[in-house]
Amino acid sequence: MTREHHKKDGIVKYGDHIKLQHVRTSKYLGTNGNNYQFGSKQQCVFTSQSPTTWVVVAPEGSGEEDGYEVGWDDKVLLKPVDFPNLRLHSTPDTLSPVSGQREVSCFDGSDHNSSWKVVQFDEDSGDDFWRVDQKFYLIHAKSHKALHSHDIRYANDDNEVTVHGERDQENLFVVV
């Protein structure tokens, strides 16, 4: 069952199925079942023209449930629908294969490196909830670094995705 409650009122909720678009390049956050050859050797994450659908999951022990609204600064886990045992993940000491920034992967384990905080880009617009088409940063909860993409190619026409310390245009995403 596809859960797309956000299409009714624009608010993203735990349990929703979403697509994340990188604002500057208009490419979508994706994964495809291939693993990195180096680094973590976990499943690759990139931005591409083909969107991956992600499930918004509440972190264990948060008290949040499916159907509850995700607020700004709330923590989330993101699971690719096609790989439901995996989570968007970053490990502090694993470098990305191309730029040498911190690698982002999909991981099947359960640890604090899969938790992300949703941070509003423009605090003067909107309300307290994560909404469709509103720019945001996805901050790795453990390292406090932002999910990042750029024009550096990873493979074919796909761009590399990393976490990076600076918050700039390369770190902005929207739910579409």
Residue 39 resides in a domain? yes
The one-letter code for the residue type at 41 is K
pLDDT tens digits, 108-143: 987 889 999 999 998 777 789 999 999 999 999 999
Task: Show the low-confidence residues of the chain (pLDDT under 50).
Answer: 1
Q: What average pLDDT does the chain have?
A: 92
Residue 1 domain flag = no
Q: What are phi and psi of 88, to 5 degrees?
A: -60, 135
Q: What type of residue is 119? A: V
Question: What's the pLDDT at 1?
Answer: 43
Question: Is there a domain that residue 47 lies in?
Answer: yes
Residue 100 lies in a domain: yes
Using CA atoms, how far residue 94 sits from 61, 89, 97, 133, in Å, is 27, 11, 9, 31
Note the pLDDT of residue 6.
59
- Whether 23 maps to a domain, the answer reads yes
Number of domains in the chain: 1
Specify the pLDDT at position 7: 61
| CATH number, position 64 | 2.80.10.50
pLDDT for the residue numbered 8: 75
Count of helix runs (H) and strand runs (E) in the chain: 1, 15
- Residue 129 domain boundaries: 6-175
Q: State the pTM of this model.
A: 0.93
